Structure 1
């Protein structure tokens, strides 16, 4: 992988992170059904074209957020289970 590809990957991850953060912030303020792509991109200070490079719509963005959260939860569970197997006692997660 060359420098340009690495930079694009980093920019892509940063854009996705900002879009997800924007969506989560908006969900604290109003119902998901009332959130538009424009709302998310304005919150993330990005243009709509950038949004559509990564997601088809706000539902796809929400699904990506959910996937990330489930993966993080699974990682925590796996780490906890590894501690349990090594130590023999189950502590609260």
Structure 2
């Protein structure tokens, strides 16, 4: 079922336009200008984003380090329900390792 390209083009030329192309070029150029402005803004804010990520990473590492240091500095509490108890059933079942 092969149609001739000339017939298809003639049928397309004879049909009515379903939309107007008035203002199409201006809309495309406005979109291009808006995209360029967005890229310019994004590139201008890139150092601020990098600094923000670095600061958040530094705060997280510092807070995590302080939390870990205080956990290790505390004395171990020996009670039947503590995880570090030497007489916990889980440690007794392991045997001599």
Higher relative contact order (CA 8 A, sep 6+): 1
Q: Report the TM-score, using the length of structure 2 for normalisation.
A: 0.33
Q: Report the TM-score, using the length of structure 1 for normalisation.
A: 0.34
User: Which structure is larger by alpha-carbon Rg, 1 or 2?
Assistant: 2
Q: Judging by fraction of residues, say which structure has more helix.
A: 1
